[in-house]
Structure 1
Amino acid sequence: MAGKNVLIVYAHQSSGSFNAAAKDVAVKVLTEKGCTVDVSDLYEINFKATATVEDITGGVKDPDCFSYAEETKLAWEEDKLSSDIVKEQSKLKKADLVIFQFPMYWFSVPAIMKGWIDRVLTLGFAFSPEKRYSEGMFRDKKAILSFTTGSFESMFSPNAINGDMNVTLWPLQNGILHYCGFQVLGPQIFWAPAHVSRSDCSTMLDGWRARLQNLLNEQPIDFPLLEYFEKDTGFQLKPEIVELRATEELGISVGIHQGKKVPPNNQMRWHVKENRF
């Protein structure tokens, strides 16, 4: 892990929070392991969450029918993105690992972190129609969601009121991170730290501290490869892939389950890749 660059995208308002403690543990452990750690403290820098025309300097191509994706792609190509976006993209370009540290809000990330995603992961820089998913821009980088919940673990199961956490994670891990090509590590979930004892909080942080020792060497979550899908049919699974899995009880992944049962813990931990594909 020595010599690796780590970016922590951190979103919490309080330096006394559990999220702050988790962020500090990561900085300390990874620095001691020889990594260079950079923290983007989104509340501290008052990062702008809204994606607007102000993100582009020097005017836009079509002000009457403004397309954020297309205009920021042009601005990225012409070095006309706003300085705060350029700064974050520069950090991201150097990073071997990105840790997103946040409290889960409404089953997703806080608005300020979603703004970082919307504004920093621009078309052209982070993805393109040709370079996405397993062929994505960031396929040589790893990423992990590290977050706190307001509910206990028992409430995030297939039979519980909040539903399966694997389903909750699919849009974030597949639709954002894997879409940009990241190798996605299993999430680090801190279950309801606000509702447990200080001792239990310390135990959770100790578990994170231990995991960080070898985090960069972990195997990523397994997602279906882009080559499994046929472009001419609207990116449906190729017939040969469907045929190979016809007798399987479980689908390929949480989001692509082929009408079968959803694979358990598909978004929570690494699974052995299926070499027969």
Structure 2
Amino acid sequence: MKNVLVIVANPKEDSLSFAIANRVKKVNEDIKNSVEILDLYKDEKRQDFFIYEENAFHFEPTKEMLYYQEKIKKADEIVIVFPYWWGSMPAILKNFFDWNLSAGFAYTYEKGTPKGLLKGKDVKVYTTTGAPKFFYFLNGANRRLKKMFKDQIIEFCAMNLKEFNIFGGIDSGFKGAQKILDSIKA
């Protein structure tokens, strides 16, 4: 049995992001995995925005950090679901990474070289966008977003990227949503 942590960064509960998160939960629970969905907008431990000048490299972990880091530590698989806004992730997701993937927990430096500390964790990413997927392919945005997640977050912390999915052409009517949901496997 695996522990799966699904992190959702979308303010709308009736969004395709939450439909994806719920589908991930269902397919994993069907095979007896333990699943927790973490709604970054509504979680009781939601964090204020990280201010680098106040926190720099050495600071005491907050009770919120310890809470989220425990969830990350327990997870065998982390699933990240968000809408693709302004060429990146929503600010609340970036803030979650800034606070919780901290030095000493997610990585350290040994002789000036970074060393990831979250070895053995698999990561899947699902993001949705209104523009057609080919638009992001042509302008390089798909490649840029995947590279940022893979190189600068996931592998930097020694985790393993298992899937990276960009679902394009999503409108408020969720055309094609069922096909997307059916493509999600544990």
TM-score (norm 1): 0.61
- Which of 127, 136, 140 aligns to 1:163? It is 140
8 A contact 1:101–1:147 mirrored in 2: yes
**1:174 equivalent in alignment to 2:172:** no
**1:49 Cα deviation after fit:** 4.5
- Which of 36, 39, 61 aligns to 1:38? It is 36
Over 3 Å counting, the alpha-carbon distance change for 1:164 and 1:105 in structure 2 is closer
Separation in 1, partners of 2:43, 2:32: 26
8 A contact 1:69–1:123 mirrored in 2: no
Aligned to 1:101: 81
- Which of 186, 189, 192 aligns to 2:169? It is 192
1:44-94 deviations in Å (ceiling 9; x for gaps): 1262251148xxxxxxxxxxxx5624223xx2xxxxx22211110000001
1:93-147 deviations in Å (ceiling 9; x for gaps): 01100001100111211011111000011110010113977x5211211112111
Separation in 2, partners of 1:14, 1:164: 24
Aligned to 2:69: 89
- Which of 124, 127, 131 aligns to 2:107? It is 127
Aligned to 1:71: 58
The one of the two structures with greater contact order (alpha-carbon pairs below 8 A, sep at least 6) is 2
Identity of aligned residues (%): 26
Aligned to 1:140: 120
TM-score (norm 2): 0.89
Aligned to 2:180: 204
Separation in 1, partners of 2:133, 2:145: 13
Give the counterpart letter for 1:23 in structure 2. Answer: A
Over 3 Å counting, the alpha-carbon distance change for 1:116 and 1:42 in structure 2 is same
Separation in 2, partners of 1:84, 1:155: 38
3-state DSSP of counterpart to 2:181? helix
Over 3 Å counting, the alpha-carbon distance change for 1:197 and 1:126 in structure 2 is closer
8 A contact 1:10–1:42 mirrored in 2: yes
Unaligned stretches of 5+ residues in structure 1: 54-65, 76-80, 214-277
Give the counterpart letter for 1:193 in structure 2. Answer: I
3-state DSSP of counterpart to 2:152? helix
Give the counterpart letter for 1:114 in structure 2. Answer: K
| Range with greater deviation from structure 2 (148-157 or 13-22) | 148-157
1:151-177 deviations in Å (ceiling 9; x for gaps): 1111122xx3x3251133211221111
**1:196 Cα deviation after fit:** 6.8
1:186-205 deviations in Å (ceiling 9; x for gaps): 3122212217764x211111
Over 3 Å counting, the alpha-carbon distance change for 1:90 and 1:202 in structure 2 is same
Separation in 1, partners of 2:84, 2:41: 16
Kindly name which structure, 1 or 2, has the bigger radius of gyration based on alpha carbons. 1
Separation in 1, partners of 2:64, 2:145: 30
The total of aligned residue pairs comes to 184
3-state DSSP of counterpart to 2:24? helix
8 A contact 2:129–2:170 mirrored in 1: yes
